Amino acid sequence: MEGTVSDVIEVVDAKDLVRVYGEGDTAVHALRGVGVRIEPGQLTAVMGPSGSGKSTLMHILAGLDRPTSGSVKIDGIEITTLGDDALTKLRRQHIGFIFQFFNLLPMLTARDNILLPLTIAGAKPDPEFFDELVSRVGLADRLEHRPAELSGGQQQRVAIARALVSRPTVVFADEPTGNLDSRTSGEILTLMRSSVEEYGQTTVMVTHDAKAAAMADRVLYLADGEIVKETGRSNQHEILQIIDTLDLQ
């Protein structure tokens, strides 16, 4: 039967991911057989010590890098075998990005930065959703400012709105609070949590921040290229214990 609950497709379904950088004696095994399934509407945090493979995993799941072997499906589409053009198109349609250093275009206003994914895709914004999004991220009176005229927190809000504006299948965030003070980090995390609650936005976030992980529905812990542990929502005590064990900070 088609369309039954059992047909629900994972937003992200990755199997047996291996990523080796370099060759021979100098080869680095960044991922050693990682499998991840992400269900819709969840905030997943990925934690682990420096060099454990978090960014490598995120880049491969997001189609920014290719695995040495293994499979990644986004919304049921196998992306590891797509050609470059098809992969670029898939990223535009299905994926939003939030980076540690914001990655805004300096010559564009906040408005044009937010609209960029739609502009590139030749799509028109839904004016109602745009207004709602801009007010949710608190930028209604900053839309005509350029990034240099905005604080770090405001720049990250622009980046969040840019990631959400096309209603992507999944948002990947790489240490979104890594370059912000603790108060601003808290505001940004609250905003990311609310995009999960309000818009059902599936989000995967690499983070070193225990507060960020405590807001997640699920936390995956990587060590030396493997997933070594997984915990559920807001189990701060357990998260802190694991951070201690893995010597993350």
Ligand X SMILES: Nc1ncnc2c1ncn2[C@@H]1O[C@H](COP(=O)(O)OP(=O)(O)OP(=O)(O)O)[C@@H](O)[C@H]1O
Which of residues 75 and 175 has its CB atom nearest to ligand X in the complex? 175
Least distance (Å) from ligand X to the CB of residue 42?
A: 21
Tokens 């399934």: give the residue.
37
Which of residues 57 and 110 has its CB atom nearest to ligand X in the complex? 57
Q: Which stretch binds ligand X (CB under 6 A): 46-54, 98-106, 140-148, 156-164?
A: 46-54
Please report how many Cα atoms fall inside a 13 Å half-sphere around the Cα of residue 92, on the Cβ side.
Answer: 15
Residue 50 as a binder of ligand X (CB under 6 A): the answer is yes
Which of 17, 45, 48, 133 is the binder for ligand X (CB under 6 A)?
48
Residue 56 as a binder of ligand X (CB under 6 A): the answer is yes
Which of 9, 28, 105, 140 is the binder for ligand X (CB under 6 A)?
28
For residue 39, the SS3 value is coil
Residue 52 as a binder of ligand X (CB under 6 A): the answer is yes
Q: Which stretch binds ligand X (CB under 6 A): 32-40, 48-56, 97-105, 235-243?
A: 48-56
Residue 41 as a binder of ligand X (CB under 6 A): the answer is no
Least distance (Å) from ligand X to the CB of residue 13?
A: 20
Total number of residues binding ligand X (CB under 6 A)? 12
Check: CB of residue 120 under 8 Å from CB of residue 92.
Answer: yes
Query: Residues in the chain, how many?
Result: 249
The residues that touch ligand X, with contacts defined as CB under 6 A, are 21-22, 28, 30, 48, 50-56
